[in-house]
Amino acid sequence: MYPRFLDRNYPLAKHLFFVTRYSFGLLGLSFDQKLSWWQWIWLVFNFVNLAHCCQAEFVFGWSHLRTSPVDAMDAFCPLACSLTTLFKLGWMWWRCQEVAALMERIRQLIEEQEKRRDERRDLAQRSCYVMATRCGMLVFTMGSITTGAFVLRSLWEMYARRRQEFKFDMPFRMLFPDFAHRMPWFWFFYLYSTWSGQVTVYAFAGTDGFFFGFTLYVAFLLQALQWDIQETLRPIEDPSPRETDICCQRLADIVDRHNEIEKIVERFSGIMAAPTFVHFVSASVVIATSVIDILLYSGYNIIRYVVYTCTVSSAIFLYCYGGTEMATESLSLGEAAYSSAWYKWDRETRRRVFLIILRAQRPITVKVPFFAPSLPVFTSVIKFTGSIVALAKTIL
């Protein structure tokens, strides 16, 4: 029995921001309606749980920094990801109303395209929706597998030491008060620690899914503009004044829609600039420390950090791929205008087409401090992490 969203007959409307709604819904944060008291309590508990476990990881890493640097690294690596996710969860909670308004406006713009009843648009829309959902849920699944790998590691280590002096280990390297590391409270705090890993996954996947989905939806809207330009500037010999007026009105509508898309992306940048910047910085460090842990550990421990590295890397790749798709479709708008039959129309129409081409030369991107997410940035991040690993190898 596979998930319903993988079914071909799954309603297309439910795909819109599916990963974000589903992931944050598991944490109690809803973008569709006002939160109930139970949702508020559950959301506050999850936020406090993650914050408390971050503190426990830091205490463990700091206390083992001199005596056992390897164990300290094993705590600090997940801590970097957990702190970033704690910031993301708090940020999305704080900007909840703005995120909901942005989702609603994207839905309205896409519904306008659905009314065209164009098979080409319908296929492009379905492809965009399905890709956003499946890729986002891939990160969600890989994150859950990573949590499972850490849990299995701790269970295996406790089983292997069953004939020795028993040591109560948490799934993640966390140091709670003494009573939490012995019976009868141990299993409660064990589940408490495990759940913090899932809170990290849900908030991580929800925020990343929002970014990736938004960029793909905007890319689809820009692609629809390209088709409208080509349909508007179809080849006509000696167009009449009425046809010219209709053409100019349609071009004006295209310009207005293009301007609105750019304003929406600016609003999106205002919301996502901070979490995206923090994500890229922390992910670079997390990937580097994960690779270092792979070099330091052996056996089963390597597997969990390989999965961890793949999860974080795939999340960064989605950011960069989505940013590249949106920028590419934005530039293609000018190419679509130039490749149309603009030369067969009157002077005023040609002037408007020329302005569209000039405007399209400035790609629409998500403005993040110091960079814009794109595939070249992804390669730069990987190179940067490689430099950190090389430096660490010389020190260690």
- pLDDT tens string for the chain (396 positions)? 456 767 667 777 788 899 999 999 999 898 878 888 898 999 999 999 999 999 988 888 888 777 777 777 778 878 888 899 999 999 999 999 999 999 999 999 988 887 777 778 888 888 888 899 989 998 899 888 888 888 887 787 777 766 666 666 778 888 788 877 777 887 888 889 899 989 999 998 999 999 999 999 999 999 999 988 888 888 777 777 888 888 888 888 888 899 999 999 999 999 999 999 988 888 887 787 777 766 666 556 677 777 778 888 888 999 999 999 999 999 998 888 888 877 777 888 888 888 888 888 888 888 888 888 888 888 888 887 777 767 666 665
Predicted local confidence at residue 264, as pLDDT:
93
The residue written with tokens 């000018």 in the block is 334
The identity of residue 60, as a single letter, is F
User: Cβ(346)–Cβ(178) under 8 Å?
Assistant: no
Interhelix angle for 300-338 vs 375-395, to 10°? 150
Residue 98 structure tokens: 């703005």
Predicted local confidence at residue 2, as pLDDT:
58
User: Cβ(37)–Cβ(53) under 8 Å?
Assistant: no
110 vs 213: CA distance, rounded Å: 13
pTM for this prediction:
0.90
User: Cβ(382)–Cβ(291) under 8 Å?
Assistant: no
**Where are the chain's structural domains?**
4-395
- Terminal Cα-to-Cα distance of the chain (whole angstroms): 48
Predicted local confidence at residue 297, as pLDDT:
61
126 vs 76: CA distance, rounded Å: 41
Predicted local confidence at residue 164, as pLDDT:
66
Predicted local confidence at residue 167, as pLDDT:
65
Q: What is the biggest distance separating any 2 CA atoms in the chain, rounded to whole angstroms? A: 93
User: Cβ(333)–Cβ(356) under 8 Å?
Assistant: yes
Predicted local confidence at residue 299, as pLDDT:
59
Cβ neighbour number for residue 278 with a 10 Å cutoff:
17
